[in-house]
Amino acid sequence: MYGSFDIRNSAHLLQRMRGCRVNMPTKPITMPTHSLLYRVSGLKNISQLFPNLSVLHGEKLYYDYALVMYEMYHLQEIGLTTLTAILRGGGQNRKEQIFVLC
C-alpha cells in the first residue's frame, strides 16, 4: 500500500509512483474520494495515470466534484475509457483549451 501522493506542477513528479503496482492489474480500479489534476505540465493523457479506473465513488468531493482538471494546458486526451460511473459528484474541466481535446 502506497497511500496518498501529493504531486504538483509537473508530470516528472509522477516518477515517485514508478514501480507502484496493483495486485490485480486486469481488474477494474475504483477511487473512493476525488481526483484533482491542477497545472500538471506535460501530462497529455489522463488514462496514463489511471488505465483501469472504472468507478469514482466521490465519498469526499472537491467543491462538489469527484474529478477536476484545472489548467491542464498540455492535456490532449482524457481517455478514461474504462470509467463507467461517478457515483457522487461530477467531473469538471476548467480553464482548458478545449479545442485541443476535440
Report if residue 4 sits inside a domain. Answer: no
Q: How confident is the model at residue 96 (pLDDT cuts 50, 70, 90)?
A: low
Residue 52 belongs to domain spanning: 26-101
Residue 37, pLDDT score: 85
Residue 1, pLDDT score: 39
Report if residue 84 sits inside a domain. Answer: yes
CATH number for position 47: 3.80.20.20
Residue 88, pLDDT score: 92
Mean residue pLDDT of the chain comes to: 76
Output 18 or 83, whichever has higher pLDDT. Answer: 83
Strands 67-70 and 35-38, by their bridges, are parallel
pTM, two decimals, is 0.67
Residue 38, pLDDT score: 84
